[in-house]
Structure 1
Amino acid sequence: MSEVLVVDDSKVMRDMVVACLRPYPGLNFTHASSGLEAIERLSLSPYDLLVLDLNMPDIGGIEVVEFVRGQDRLRTLPIIIVTTRGDEASRARALSAGANRFMTKPFTPDAILAEARGLLEEKPA
């Protein structure tokens, strides 16, 4: 069973991400509605994939990525950024902070499923 943490301040968007990833067998989902909640969950439990929004009211997605990459046990955690920010500066900043993939909303179910599958299957054991 692979553990996926889905972080977005919109419950509708969290539910949509889960619905898109549900066809991949063996995934268990945990939700977080803020960057702070994400950091708390990441500190307490291991995850195999992080799907993360950039725009959140407390701690933004970039800061969560920087936190993850600064922790030895989380350093290799695959991160997919899913955001409304489609500009090149946001993409470059997220990827340089350590995100593995950057997707803009709206996305297709097949696209996010393919990105998740690729990251989960290439993750070292």
Structure 2
Amino acid sequence: MTEILVVDDSKVMREMIVACLRVGEDFTFTHAASGLEAIEKLALKAFDLVVLDLNMPDIGGFEVIEFIRGQDKLQRLPVLVVTTRGDEGSRVRALAAGASQFMTKPFTPDAILANVQSMLRLDAAGFHE
């Protein structure tokens, strides 16, 4: 079973992401409504992938990525950024911080599922961004 942490301050968006990823896959989901909650959950449980928004009220997505990449046991954890920030600067900053992939909202269900499946296949094969 694949464990995915979905981090977004919007409950509706978290539920939408889960609905898109639930199709035909053996995924289990944990929700986090803030960057701080995400960090707490990452410290307590192992995940196979993180879907992360950048805009959150306490600790932002960039800081969550930096936390993940700063932990030995999490350094290879795939991180898919899904955000409303469509500017090139945000994309470059997220990827430079260690995000594996970057998508903007709105997204299609097929696009997010394809990104997640691709990232998990690369991770299983030992390839990391």
**Fold shared by both chains (TM-score > 0.5):** yes
Measured after TM superposition, the shift of residue 21 of structure 1 is 0.4
Measured after TM superposition, the shift of residue 23 of structure 1 is 1.2
After superposition, the C-alpha distances for 1:39-96 in whole angstroms (9 at most, x for unaligned) are 0000000000000000000000000000000000000000000000000000000000
Q: TM-score normalised to the size of structure 2?
A: 0.95
Question: Match of 1:58?
Answer: 58
Unaligned runs of 5+ in 2: none
Question: Match of 2:68?
Answer: 68
- Superposition misfits of 4+ residues, deviation over 3 angstroms: none
Distance of 1:73 and 1:45 partners within structure 2: 11
Distance of 2:81 and 2:119 partners within structure 1: 13
Q: Among the aligned pairs, what percent are the same residue?
A: 67
Distance of 2:92 and 2:39 partners within structure 1: 22
AA matched with 1:48: D
Contact 1:24–1:117 at 8 Å: present in 2 too? no
Unaligned runs of 5+ in 1: none
| Matched position secondary structure for 1:6 | strand
| Matched position secondary structure for 1:73 | helix
Q: TM-score normalised to the size of structure 1?
A: 0.98
After superposition, the C-alpha distances for 1:86-114 in whole angstroms (9 at most, x for unaligned) are 00000000000000110000000000000
| Matched position secondary structure for 1:46 | coil
1:78 and 2:78 aligned? yes
After superposition, the C-alpha distances for 1:10-34 in whole angstroms (9 at most, x for unaligned) are 0000000000000142100000000
1:8 and 2:3 aligned? no
User: What is the alpha-carbon root mean square deviation over aligned residues?
Assistant: 0.9
Q: Number of paired residues?
A: 125
Question: Match of 2:107?
Answer: 107
